[in-house]
Amino acid sequence: MSIFISYARKDRTAAETLRHDLERARSSVWLDDELTGGQAWWETILGQIRACELFVFALSPDSLRSKACQAELRYALELKRPLLPVMVRAVSVQLAPAAIADTQIIDYTERTADSAVALVTAAANRTLAPPLPQPLPTPPPPPMSYMNPYREQIQSSDLSFRDQAHVVLALRGHLQDEDERDTARELLVELRRRQDIAESVARDVDELLASVPPPEPVSRVTTSSTWTSPGTTEARSAEPAATPSASGAAAPAWYPDPTRRHEQRYWDGTRWTDHVSTRGQPTVDAVDGSTARGSTPSGDQTPRVVRPEAGSTSGGPFSGGAYTALIIASLLFGIIGVIVGAINLKHPARRSQAQVLLWLGIASMIVGFLLVSSGQ
C-alpha cells in the first residue's frame, strides 16, 4: 500500500514517527524530504498524491494554516484519494475543513502502543482508492508562486527606493508564515546583494535577516532493514532497529516478535505489549512471559535477555535492601538522600524511589537546621 503524508514543517518529527510506524506495517510511505520550493518540487508532490492509495493528513494548528498542506488536501479530495486524518498536535476539529471534521480522526498527540495500533488498523481498513478521475482535475499552482512578482522586482534592472521599501514591507509579513519564511528570507538576501540598495532599506533588511536564522538541514538517521515475505525479499529504509541504553532498553516501536508467533510485536519502552502484527494486520496476543518479558528488542529475531551484572543496580530500581538502607541514611544524613535522589531522578525505573529519597533528604536537612537553630 502506498501512503502520502501531508504535514506542516513544524510537525516534521511527528511525520517521521508516522512514517516509521506505517512502514513497520509493510506500507510504502512517501514523505517530502526536500522541504524546498519550486515548480519541480511541487510537481513531484502532486504526482505522489495521484499515485497514493491513502492520503494521511497530519492534523495540527500549523497544518491547518499551511497553504501547501491545504492545497495538497484539496487536490487529494478532488482525486478522491482515501483520507486518514491523524492529529499530531492538539487543535480544535471545528477549525478543520469539513472533509477532516467529518472523518474519524486518529489521536497521535501521544505516541503509545494503542495509538500505533489504531493507526495501523485504520490504514489497513481504509476504503479502496478508486481509479483517478478522467480528465484529471486542474493541479493547484505551487504555494509559493504568488511570490514570484517579488522575485521579478528584485531582479529587475531598475528598482526605485519606493519599490525597495515596498518589497521589504511585503516580505516582512511573509517571514511570519512557516511555509513562506525560507522563500521570503532568500528574496531578502537577494535584495540585499543589489548594488543600488538604499542605505535605510539595507539596514531594515539586515535587521530582518538577523531575526530569522537560515534554515537548518534536516538530519535523519536511517538504517537499511530487510523485510522477508514468502518468495520475496524487499529492502526498505527504516529507523534503527533499537536504541539501547545502559539497561538494554530500546525506543518504543514495532520490533520482531521475540515469541516468534507473529512478525512484529510492540515494545512500549519498558516491556513487550500484547499488540502484534502479521503481514500488516494488527491483532492482540498475550505475551509469553517465559520468553519475552525479560528481553528487549534487538536487531535480529533472537530476543536479548538482560541480566544485570552481580552487584549492579545501574538499570532497574533499587533492591529492597539497598532502598531501605538509603531511606535510613537519608533520615540520618539528609545530604545523602538529596544527592542520591537527584542523581537517579533521570532513571525511569527509579524515579519514584528517587523522589522519596529526595524529599526525605530535604526534610531531614530542614529538621536538622531547626534543631540546631533552637539549640542556639
Q: Residue 216: inside a domain, yes or no?
A: no
278 and 59 Cβ atoms separated by less than 8 Å: no
Q: Are residues 156 and 261 in the same domain?
A: no
In-domain check, residue 133: no
26 and 107 both lie in a single domain: yes
Domain end, chosen from 211, 243, 258, is at 211
CA distance 275 to 332: 47
pLDDT at 161: 92
Chain centroid offset of residue 122 CA: 19
Identify the domain containing residue 330 by its residue range: 320-375
Last residue of a domain, one of 254, 275, 302: 302
Quick one: 55 and 88 in the same domain?
yes
Pair 152, 185 in one domain: yes
> Could you tell me if 52 and 81 are in contact, meaning their C-beta atoms sit under 8 angstroms apart?
yes
Count structural domains, the chain: 4
Same structural domain for residues 116 and 149?
no
Q: In what order do the strands lie in the sheet with 2-6?
A: 28-30, 2-6, 54-59, 83-87, 106-107
Largest CA distance in the chain: 93
Candidates 189, 184, 182, 174; CA nearest to 215 is 182
Tell me if 175 is assigned to some domain. yes
Q: Is residue 169 part of a domain?
A: yes
CATH number, domain containing residue 89: 3.40.50.10140
Same domain, 284 and 233: yes
**Distance in angstroms (rounded) separating the CA atoms of residues 67 and 280:** 33
Are residues 120 and 13 part of one domain? Answer: yes
Is residue 310 included in any domain, yes or no? no
pLDDT of residue 307: 37
The phi and psi torsions of 153 (rounded to 5 degrees) equal: -65, -50
User: Do 80 and 118 share a domain, yes or no?
Assistant: yes
Position 22 scores a pLDDT of: 92
Specify if 361 maps to a domain. Answer: yes
Same domain, 271 and 182: no
Does 232 fall in a domain? yes
94 and 70 in one domain?
A: yes
Model confidence, pTM = 0.49
Q: Is residue 234 part of a domain?
A: yes
CA distance 259 to 131: 41
For residue 272, give the amino acid letter: W
Same domain? 56 vs 155: no
Strand, helix or coil for residue 277: strand
Residuewise pLDDT in 10s, the chain (376 residues): 899 999 988 898 999 999 999 998 888 999 887 545 556 778 899 999 999 999 999 999 989 988 889 999 999 999 999 999 999 999 988 888 999 988 889 999 999 989 999 999 999 888 899 999 999 999 998 876 567 778 888 988 889 999 999 999 988 888 877 667 878 888 898 999 898 999 999 989 888 888 876 655 444 433 333 333 333 333 333 333 443 333 445 666 667 777 777 777 767 666 777 777 776 566 667 655 444 444 555 544 333 433 333 333 444 566 667 778 888 888 888 888 888 888 877 766 677 788 888 888 888 888 887 877 776 5
Q: In this structure, are 7 and 117 located in the same domain?
A: yes
Radius of gyration of the chain (CA): 28
**What DSSP string runs through 57-73?**
EEESHHHHH-HHHHHHH
pLDDT given for residue 220 in this prediction: 41
Q: What is the DSSP secondary structure assignment for residue 181, as one 8-state letter?
A: H
Distances (CA, A) of 189 to 166, 168, 215, 243, 326: 15, 11, 13, 41, 61
Q: Which residue has the cell 548594488?
A: 195
**211, 231, 260 - which closes a domain:** 211
Read out DSSP for 108-155?
-SS--HHHHHHHHHHHHTPPPPPPPPSSPPPPPPPTTGGGHHHHHHHT
Is residue 341 within 8 Å of residue 364, measured between CB atoms? no
C-alpha cell read off for 183:
522563500
Cα–Cα dist 212/205, whole Å: 11
